[in-house]
Each structure stands twice: as C-alpha cells, then as structure tokens.
Chains A and B, each alone.
Chain A
Amino acid sequence: MQVKFPDVNLLALWPVIALVVTALVLLVVVVVRPRLEGAFYALLTLAGLAVALVLTLIQAGSTPISTFAGTWRTDDFAVFFTLVILAASILAVFLSEDWLRLHNVGQPEFYTVLLCGTVGMITSVSATDVMTLFLGIELMSVPTYLLTGFAKHERTSNEGAMKYFLLGAFSSAILLYGLVWAFGVTGSTNMDAIARFVANGGGESRPAILLALLLIITGLGFKVAAVPFHMWTPDAYQGAPTVVTAFMSVAGKAAAFGALVRLLTQAFPGLSGDWGPVLVVLSVITMLLGNIVAIVQNDVKRMLAYSAIGHTGFMLVGLSTWSPSNRFGAASVLFYAFMYVFMNMGAFGILAWLENHGGGTTLDHLDGLWSKAPAAATSLAVFLLGLMGFPLTAGLWTKVFVFQATAQAGYTWLGVLMLLISAVAAVFYLRVVVRMFMFEPKLAIASPSQPLMVIGLAVALIGTVGLFVLFTPVLEFAERAVGIGA
C-alpha cells in the first residue's frame, strides 16, 4: 500500500479560506473586545462574506479545478450553489443584526457559527467524494442545530433545537450507512469511480447498490425536508429564531439539494431509471402534504415552514425528471434554489421585523398591517406572491421551468399536478395578503430603528422583482452548471 501526499490547489478554496479566516478573527475579537457597540461584528462578517462572494464570482466561468486527490471540485455547479449559499448568508447577517442586538444575544458567536455552517454548505456542494460530502453535510448540520437553539432563554428555541438535533443526527447516520455501502460495493469513495461501476446497472451487486441508494435518498430526504422525512421541519422552523429559520430554510435546503443533485447525477447517473420514480413518489406526497397542511396553520411562521416543505416537493419534481440525455430537470432545481433565496428570506425577514417590533407571527398579528406599516405589508405581499408563483415576481419562472422539465421528460401529468397544487397553495398565501390589507388592525407596534434589516429586506425585494425581468443569465448559468451545452 503506497500512500502519497495528495495534490492541493488552494485556488479552488479561496472563498472558503476567506470565510474561515473571518470566523477565526471574530473568535479572537470576542476575547479581546467582547461587547463592542454598534454593528461592528455584523459589518466584519459581511466584509468576509463579500470577499468570499467576489472570489466565487472570479471562479465562475473559469476552468473547473479538481483538487485534494479528486475529493473537491470547484466547477460551475459548485460555483452556482456557492453563490446561492453566500447570498443567503449575506441576507441572514443583514436580517439578524437587529434581532441579536434587541435580545442581547452574543453577536460574534452567532456570526462565527453562521460562517462555519456556510463553509459546511459550500463543502457539501463542492464535494466529489462521498467522504467529503458527508463531512460537508455534518459541518452544515451541527452549526444549524446551534443556531436553532440560539435563543437559549426561550423554551421553544430549545425544544426546536432538540428535535432538529435528534432527527438530524439520526438522518446523518442513515446517510452515512448508505455512503458506506456505496463505498464497500464499488470499492471507491470517488463519485466518478462509483459512476463507472454502476454505469451498466451494477451487475451482481445491484441489490446492494440499490440499498445504498435508498439509504442515501432517505438521509438526504431528511435534510431537504421531503415527506415522509419532514417531521422535524415544522417544529425546528417554528422554534428557531425567525432569522435562523430564514437562513436554514434557504441555505440549508440549497446545500442539501446541491449534495443530492451532485450525488444522484454524478455518482448514480446510470441508475436514474431507479431513483427517478422514487423521487416522483416523494415529490407528489411532499407537494400534497406541505401545501395542504399549510392551509390550516394559524401561525404564519409555521405556515411558511409547511410551505417550505411544499417547495421541496416542487424542486424534487424537477430533479425526478433528470436523465443523462435530458438534464434540464437538474437545471430547473438550481434555478429554483436561486430564486427561492430572495422570496423566502424576504418573507421570513418581514416576520422577524414584526417580532422585533414587539409583534408576533400569528395571522392576528398581521391583521391590518397595511394601515400601520404599508412598506412591510407590501413587501410581505410581494414575497408571498413570489412563493405562490405569481407573474411579475421571480417565482413565476421557478414553476415554469420545473413544468418545462416535466414536459420534456414526458412526465407532463406530474407538471400539471404541480400547477394544480400551486393553485391550492394560493389559498393560504392570499389569505395572509387579504388579512393584511382588508382587516382592521388589532395590535400596536413599536418601531425601533433597524437600518441593516431594512437594507436586507430591500435587497430581497429587488431580487424577487428584478429577477422576473433578468432571469435569463441565471437560467443559462444553471444549464451550464448541470452540463447542458457543454
């Protein structure tokens, strides 16, 4: 057995290095200057994230770099998801500063954990080796458990964190067992080597490969919140501080989808005839349950948690249509993840803003918001219409392209079902809008100054509306990332 030192090309890692350095600097600063006034920590974190964003943009379009003995690849796919994740992290910092300040929660610690989670997410979408992929998923999950429980004096936050942690660790173990079997049967942890092994269906070891695949889909099914592996989602999303919910429902989901798409299309492309139908079933029950249970929710935060489950279903529809000859399904998932950042972060951001104003997140709290805070009410309406897939918002294109993917793959019935369920979903999105604009206000709100949050919400709003017009570059990038026209 020969062991040689692997090749290391740090060029591929600059964004990650920028984030890790920022996290370490924050940790040092907290020892030297534990309680700085103002938004110093938030601005420092934003600076680190901005540097990472610029470095990622530089990587976009350049030749893919494969490094660390083929365990890490910075290609268009990784760059696309890295941009999605960084955008979500940047918005999360903008939205969270005010909450942290008002609740006197340790800011530098929060940002350090957030940055570590971001690094984990980037790792899980850049991994081309199942070992690295598992590490990335864990480096994403463990900080997210911490963020969920960050409001440690509130029992809901504790309870959400506990449930999320137990089911998260459980799902990681299932995912790991699947990866172990994939390694044991194919003899390699490298995704390309696994793909070569399963290219002809796996031969004699086909049952073991299918078992591994099933375990992997189950494990990642928990992470993307697909029914029937969704039970942690409503509790964790409702219990977590609202800004954390925004972050994990967008960035965590994007990273888990990135890992799922990468694994299925790069390690198991030869088995797309086997995992495709499984995903079709998962997507149908996920869409149905997520959107129907959302209707009966009285708490808008919990309603959006179920709506997030429903969106997982829509994204799974896109992925389930993927085959080596028809890759548009994967592109529609990437496109969806990008647009979802602005709409969902915005919607949760408005809820966080309301909570900071002494309000709550139930429908009663939103009654007549228009007369008290017209800007907030209008923004929330735009975000909800976006999530609904209404024209003039980027949300329309997410549905259109998933539908196009189903039509191209001959799954038109699935696309039609998706559109029907979207129409049902309009019920609960529009109900919130109606109550904001037509009901009488019941509760008073205080108005502390929240400059950073307003900037974050403005960015989300501009993204939701602006990308309705400027969606073409995003779609082209998504297509390139999944190997269309390459």
Chain B
Amino acid sequence: MTPPLEWYLIFSAALFTIGLVGVLVRRHVLIIFMSVELMLNACNVALVAFGRHLDTLTGQNFVVFVITVAAAEAAVGLGIILSLAHHKDTVDVGEMDILKQ
C-alpha cells in the first residue's frame, strides 16, 4: 500500500518550513542558499505527490523545470558569492553593511 497524499504534503510542508526558518535566522550566506534549495526541493516533493495523486505527468514535468532553474540559480549565486568573497573575506550577511541608510 502506498502512503496517502497527506503524508507527502506534510513532509513537503515540513521541509519548506525548515528552509524558510533557515533563511530567516541563519547568517551564513551558503547556509541561507542551502535553505532556499531546501524550499525548492520541498516544492518538488509536493509536485510529484500531487502529480501522482492526480494521475498526470504535469507534476513531474514541472519538477524538471524547477531542477533546471535551481541549477541556474546555483551557478549564478555561487558566482556572486565568490566575487564578494574576493573583496571581503567573509560570508556572513551581518558583515555586509556598506549599503544601508
């Protein structure tokens, strides 16, 4: 017997919440970025579960796009992090303070 849809959705919601809280409370750029990835993967879990439940390929179809987007975001994001680290030897967002009023 396969587990019911709700289990997957609760799992996905838990993952999403962990990611959300991670973005809001952590200060390390890479951890924040990882938390965002966690949120995207929570979306993927929900997509596959919904797709299976509705008996449609759309869910998995969507997942392929999300993974592609996440890869593009990672490439650009890590580039930006690297370029910043060249200037200032830190990855702590609390120390990024040139721009503020």
Question: Which residues does A use to contact B, with CB under 8 Å?
Answer: 1, 3, 131, 134-135, 138, 142, 145-146, 149, 152, 155-156, 158-163, 165-166, 169-170, 172-174, 176-177, 180-181, 183-184, 187-189, 234-235, 238-239, 293, 296-297, 302
Contacts and interface: CB of A to CB of B under 8 A. Distances in A.
Nearest to A155: B87
A319 to B, nearest CB: 26
Contact of B99 (A3, A177, A239, A293): A239
Nearest to B72: A142
Given A131-B65, A134-B69, A176 B40 contact: yes
20 contacts: A1-B56, A138-B73, A145-B77, A146-B79, A155-B84, A155-B87, A155-B98, A159-B99, A162-B84, A163-B96, A166-B36, A169-B73, A177-B43, A180-B47, A183-B50, A183-B58, A183-B62, A184-B46, A184-B50, A293-B101
A165 B43 contact: no
A303 to B, nearest CB: 10
Contacts of A159: 84, 96, 98-99
Interface residues of B, number: 46
Nearest to A152: B83
A165 B39 contact: no
B19 A173 contact: yes
B99 A238 contact: yes
Contacts of B36: 166, 169-170, 173
A142 B73 contact: yes
B50 to A, nearest CB: 4
B1 interface: no
A145 B80 contact: yes
Given A162-B81, A165-B76, 13 more contacts: A134-B65, A142-B72, A146-B79, A158-B87, A160-B99, A161-B83, A169-B73, A170-B32, A172-B69, A180-B46, A180-B62, A183-B62, A184-B53
Interface in B30-45: 32-33, 36, 39-40, 42-43
**Main SS of the interface on chain A?**
helix
A189 B46 CA distance: 14
Contacts of A296: 101
Interface of B: 9, 16, 19-20, 23, 29, 32-33, 36, 39-40, 42-43, 46-47, 49-50, 53-59, 61-62, 65-66, 69, 72-73, 76-77, 79-81, 83-84, 87-88, 93, 96, 98-101
Contacts of B33: 166, 169
A199 to B, nearest CB: 19
A173 B40 CA distance: 6
Contacts of A172: 69, 73
A296 B29 CA distance: 30
B3 to A, nearest CB: 16
Nearest to A132: B65
A162 B39 CA distance: 19
Contacts of A189: 58, 62
B2 to A, nearest CB: 17
Nearest to A306: B101
Nearest to A235: B99
A57 B96 CA distance: 45
Given A159-B96, A183-B58, A302-B101, A145 B46 contact: no
Nearest to B19: A173
B76 A146 contact: yes
A156 B99 contact: yes
Nearest to B42: A177
Contacts of A176: 39-40, 43, 66
Contacts of B72: 138, 142
Contacts of B19: 173
A159 to B, nearest CB: 5
Given A156-B99, A162-B96, A1 B55 contact: yes
A177 B39 contact: yes
Contacts of A156: 98-99
A160 B61 CA distance: 34
Closest 9 pairs between A and B when the two form their complex, measured CB to CB: A184-B50, A173-B39, A158-B84, A235-B99, A169-B36, A138-B69, A176-B43, A159-B96, A161-B80
A68 to B, nearest CB: 12
Nearest to A167: B23
Nearest to A185: B50
Contacts of B54: 184, 187
B43 A180 contact: yes
B76 A131 contact: no
A158 B83 contact: yes
A197 B40 CA distance: 26
Of A145, A149, A172, A180, most buried by chain B (CB within 10 Å of CB) is: A180
Contacts of A165: 76-77, 80
A187 B47 CA distance: 11
B93 A166 contact: yes
B76 A145 contact: yes
A337 B53 CA distance: 41
A127 to B, nearest CB: 12
Of A131, A165, A239, most buried by chain B (CB within 10 Å of CB) is: A165
